[in-house]
């Protein structure tokens, strides 16, 4: 807007002449103003760095250029490193050739140049080390086998001696079996107790039992005896050799064991097993139902008959008790998991077994077949009597050595 007449136009202080500087000050101000306008019109510094006409994607192009320049530098460095490596390898090969030439001048160097040595001592295949390991293993195996063979030769008798000993033992067994079989036949041909006594083992011990037995029973004679099997047993508490025959009489339902002992005076029959001796007859025991314990020879096997006083199978273990002379069984009971129950269970693991047991009926027994097993007198039926012993019916309270493996 133009100033009114008579008014003075305002003056820009940047171009107004200073009262102190005069014309020079005005020129300086004009020059500074021109430089400021030039800076405002110029592009940013980053844009000014490139040539005129740069587009917005110029930073990416410049980055690619820098990468290409850097890659070129890396390639030169790799090439230089490769050349240095090859030069170092050539130097090492030259040094190795010099060492080999020096080594070849020695005697072991000449040996090394032999083709077999190179094959054997090749450091890549390591054949020499493998051969050494195999050789040491074979040597150790040979030493072990040699020691084993030597020990076997020292421990084993001559084969001829083994055959001779086996044949001799077999011949003795056959002779003993035949002699004991003849003695059993003679035993059951005897007509009186006086004829039986000299054929029996420990007659001084069993004579009182004989007298009681024959006072109640007739003397048994058997002419038709079937011999089923024979076993050689003994030792331990018995101390002697026994021939255990399993025989069957004409009216027997089952086989019965009869033991014959080989003594210094010859073969002797075990009278108690031969006649089936019991401290009380089975029929009397069943009819009287005694609460007083009695010793009975029985064949034992596990059973599961629970009834009357012994109906609770959680409390009791049941065993079937039989004898060749009777046709009815008894059922004996033990507290389940008791020590004697464990003994019988272990003893019967292979099947029925012969025992001498102490049996009694319960008070006011409801059955004539169900009894308590109070004690295990011994395993098997042959008592280990010795000269001067007392028959257990006459005061010896217990034998109770369950380790006795008598027949």
* Residues 244-303: tens digit of each pLDDT: 888 888 776 678 889 999 888 889 999 998 988 988 888 899 999 999 999 999 999 999
Give the residue-averaged pLDDT of 131-156. Answer: 74
pLDDT, tens digit, 9 for 90 and up, residues 309-318: 999 999 999 9
- Asked which of 108-122, 306-320, 331-345 is least confident by mean pLDDT, the reply is 108-122
Domains and CATH numbers, the chain: 97-138 (no CATH), 169-275 (3.10.450), 282-394 (2.40.50)
Q: Are 373 and 333 in contact (CB under 8 A)?
A: yes
For the segment 354-375, the average pLDDT, to the nearest whole number, is 94
CB crowding 173-208: b at 16 or more within 10 Å, else e:
eeebbeebbebbeebbebeeeeebeebbbbeebbee
Strands 353-360 and 370-379: antiparallel
Q: Is 222 exposed, middle or buried (0-12, 13-18, 19+ CB in 10 A)?
A: middle
Burial class for 264, CB neighbours closer than 10 Å (0-12, 13-18, 19+): exposed
CB 262 within 8 A of CB 243: yes
pLDDT band at 83 (very low <50, low <70, confident <90, very high): confident
């Amino acid at each position: 807007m133009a100033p009114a007449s008579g008014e003075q136009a305002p003056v820009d202080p940047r171009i107004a002449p200073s009262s102190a500087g005069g014309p020079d000050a005005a020129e300086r101000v004009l020059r500074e103003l021109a430089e400021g306008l030039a800076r405002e019109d110029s592009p940013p510094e980053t844009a000014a760095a490139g040539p005129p006409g740069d587009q917005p994607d110029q930073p990416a192009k410049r980055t690619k250029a820098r990468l290409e320049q850097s890659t070129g530098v890396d390639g030169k460095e790799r090439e230089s490193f490769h050349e240095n490596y090859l030069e170092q390898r050539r130097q090492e090969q030259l040094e190795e050739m010099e060492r080999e030439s020096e080594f070849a001048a020695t005697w072991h160097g000449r040996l090394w140049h032999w083709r077999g040595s190179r094959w054997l001592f090749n450091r890549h295949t390591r054949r020499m080390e493998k051969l050494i390991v195999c050789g040491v293993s074979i040597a150790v195996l040979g030493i072990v086998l040699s020691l084993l063979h030597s020990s076997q030769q020292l421990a084993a008798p001559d084969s001829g001696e083994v055959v001779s000993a086996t044949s001799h033992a077999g011949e003795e067994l056959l002779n003993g079996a035949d002699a004991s079989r003849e003695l059993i036949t003679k035993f059951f041909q005897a007509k009186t107790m006086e004829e039986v006594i000299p054929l029996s083992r420990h007659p001084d011990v069993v004579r009182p039992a004989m007298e009681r037995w024959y006072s109640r029973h007739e003397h048994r004679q058997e002419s038709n005896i079937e011999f089923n099997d024979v076993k050689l047993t003994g030792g331990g508490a018995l101390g002697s050799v026994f021939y255990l025959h399993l025989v069957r009489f004409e009216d027997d339902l089952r086989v019965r064991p009869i033991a014959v002992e080989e003594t210094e005076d010859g073969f002797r029959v075990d009278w108690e097993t031969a006649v089936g001796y019991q401290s009380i007859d089975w029929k009397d025991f069943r009819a009287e139902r005694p609460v007083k314990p009695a010793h009975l020879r029985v064949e034992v096997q596990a059973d599961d008959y629970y009834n009357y006083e012994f109906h609770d199978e959680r409390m009791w273990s049941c065993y079937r008790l039989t004898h060749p002379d009777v046709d009815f069984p008894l059922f004996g009971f033990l507290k389940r998991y008791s020590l004697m129950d464990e003994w019988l269970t272990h003893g019967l693991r292979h099947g029925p077994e012969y025992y001498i047991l102490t049996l009694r009926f319960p008070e006011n027994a409801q059955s004539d077949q169900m009894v308590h097993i109070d004690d295990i007198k011994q395993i098997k039926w042959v008592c280990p009597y010795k000269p001067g012993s007392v028959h257990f019916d006459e005061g010896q309270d217990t034998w109770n050595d369950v380790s006795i493996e008598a027949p």
